[in-house]
Amino acid sequence: MRITIVGLGTVGLANLAVLAADGAHEMVGYDKDAGRLAALMSGSYHFDEPAIKDIFASHKPLLTADEGLALRESEAFFIAVGTPSLADGRSDLTAFEEALAAIARHASKDAFVVIRSTVPVGTAERAISFLRGASERHFSVISMPEFLAEGSSWSDENMPARLVVGGSEEGIAFIRMLYGRQIAAGTPLIGMSNSSAELAKYAANAFLAMKISYINELARFAERKGADIEDVALALGADPRIGPAMLRPGIGFGGSCLPKDLASFLSQARDAREPLLLPQAAQRINKEQPRFFLRKMENSLGGLANRRIAVLGLAYKGGIDDIRDSLSLGFASSLLRRKAEAVCYDPSPLARADFRKALPKAIIADTLNECLAGADAAVILTDDHAFANLSEEKLVSLMKGRWLFDSRNLFPKGSFVRIAYVPLGRAPSGKP
């Protein structure tokens, strides 16, 4: 079977790699961004995940920016284009609608259309009506939301925790066939209607957002009452009804998915006049959390003006290259607005380069040592391994001041004596 993946971002590349690795189908990757395609074809594309790069090198799927060539002969299309936020929080479906129109224009056979982009509830039904009016072909539209996380996209895609599949019996049977290897290895396929599958994606992301915001809110309460949020999180996470994932406090959730999906979900709820109070609260807490941590710094240092602050962690989480909607951008901007000098560092060169473009007023350091040198204080914003290995000796020898603010609680109690260590939701230690 010839299968075309439309949109080769994080999701499209992971889908293409996993289906190509099976070797059972003729795989085609299509993206309208000619620059991205040229980089993919020349081997100069920056892959976050070596496993995906290896599959591309060994299986060589056809990659093209030629719409007709990509779409004409295929019997299945996977749509993995971006669905960013509009100013009012609604999903911008321009790229999705363009992809659908291109499929209707070029498809020469009856085909399956698998929606992997995150789209508002009801989008598949509208896609079915659109395709019926726009083409003579029969299309079976399948809603198959993507649950992969950046940083583990290959393993999440290759062996997903579950396959959520909305569509007709014919559509669900097609996915059962395509993902036979994963299902045989124990991945459950949960079949349902298109709209249930679409809702399941928003419900899952809102739940993760609520878990993060809950632990962040608890961290503030713990701090006020002299409790230790890490102990509280351990106790919570050990309950199998709760589970330990997403119970690590920080300055909040950023990235290309959680904030925009939450905003879209809330806008859908508003439109349906069925407000979602818990997700709404998660969004509010997430806005407040970076301000809370910044105030902590401001109070400890007696103001931020003219302070040189080493900002550690620019990607939206540790271990990845992506700065899209990273809270570090807003955090560094707030430092600058308070007339601090923000010297920013991330182990990822791509994250540093993108941050430099996004926030030209910040100084971007090329090494961790350069970032720390002469700083009055350092602040850890992501859980990157590079920061968890920081030693007191290094900090004392490089920095001018003696303050380490750690929003991710990377260090066990008592790790620092000669500097003031200020974690989140637990007692500070050491002294400046």
Footprint on residues 118-177 left by ligand NAD (CB under 6 A): 118, 146, 148, 150
Structural tokens at position 325: 């909607």
Question: Segment contacting ligand NAD (CB under 6 A): 16-24, 95-103, 222-230, 339-347?
Answer: 95-103
326, containing H or E segment: none
122, containing H or E segment: none
Supply the DSSP symbol for 157.
Answer: H
Question: Segment contacting ligand NAD (CB under 6 A): 76-84, 207-215, 361-369, 383-391?
Answer: 76-84
Q: Cα 294 vs. chain centroid, distance in angstroms? A: 23
The pairing of beta strand 420-422 with beta strand 403-406: parallel
Angle CA(277)–CA(279)–CA(285) in degrees, nearest 5?
Answer: 100
Tokens 């295929």 correspond to what residue?
74
Compute how many residues bind ligand NAD; rule: CB under 6 A.
26
Q: Cα 420 vs. chain centroid, distance in angstroms? A: 32
Q: Counting contacts by CB under 6 A, is residue 9 touching ligand NAD?
A: yes
Cross-strand pairs, 29: 5, 63
Distances (CA, A) of 220 to 137, 214, 260, 289: 57, 10, 25, 9
CB of residue 264 to ligand NAD, shortest distance in Å: 9
Q: Counting contacts by CB under 6 A, is residue 354 touching ligand NAD?
A: no
Which is nearer to ligand NAD, 195 or 415 (by Cβ)?
A: 195
Q: Counting contacts by CB under 6 A, is residue 340 touching ligand NAD?
A: no
Binding residue (CB under 6 A) for ligand NAD from 12, 250, 330, 347 = 12
Supply the DSSP symbol for 335.
Answer: H
Q: Counting contacts by CB under 6 A, is residue 372 touching ligand NAD?
A: no
Footprint on residues 35-74 left by ligand NAD (CB under 6 A): 36
Q: Counting contacts by CB under 6 A, is residue 19 touching ligand NAD?
A: no
Q: Counting contacts by CB under 6 A, is residue 110 touching ligand NAD?
A: no
Q: Counting contacts by CB under 6 A, is residue 223 touching ligand NAD?
A: no
Tokens 């019926």 correspond to what residue?
132
Footprint on residues 373-432 left by ligand NAD (CB under 6 A): none
Q: Counting contacts by CB under 6 A, is residue 113 touching ligand NAD?
A: no
Which is nearer to ligand NAD, 187 or 300 (by Cβ)?
A: 187
Which burial class, exposed, middle or buried, applies to 414 when counting CB atoms under 10 A from its CB (0-12, 13-18, 19+)? Answer: exposed
Binding residue (CB under 6 A) for ligand NAD from 10, 123, 264, 334 = 10
SS3 190: strand
Binding residue (CB under 6 A) for ligand NAD from 5, 15, 20, 31 = 31
**One-letter identity of residue 288:** E
Helical pair 229-237 and 194-225, crossing angle rounded to 10 deg: 140
Radius of gyration of the chain (CA): 23
Tokens 């299986």 correspond to what residue?
59
> How far is residue 212's CA from residue 223's CA, in Å, rounded to a whole number?
17
Number of H helices, E strands in the chain: 18, 14
Q: Counting contacts by CB under 6 A, is residue 30 touching ligand NAD?
A: yes
Q: Counting contacts by CB under 6 A, is residue 29 touching ligand NAD?
A: no
> How far is residue 25's CA from residue 137's CA, in Å, rounded to a whole number?
21
Residue nearest to ligand NAD (CB): 9
Which is nearer to ligand NAD, 164 or 422 (by Cβ)?
A: 164
Which is nearer to ligand NAD, 160 or 290 (by Cβ)?
A: 160
Footprint on residues 254-273 left by ligand NAD (CB under 6 A): 256-257
Question: Segment contacting ligand NAD (CB under 6 A): 77-85, 129-137, 269-277, 330-338?
Answer: 77-85
CB of residue 312 to ligand NAD, shortest distance in Å: 23
Which is nearer to ligand NAD, 9 or 428 (by Cβ)?
A: 9
Q: List residues with catalytic annotation.
A: 257
CB of residue 212 to ligand NAD, shortest distance in Å: 16
Q: Which residues bind ligand NAD (CB under 6 A)?
A: 6-12, 30-33, 36, 80-83, 95, 98-99, 117-118, 146, 148, 150, 256-257
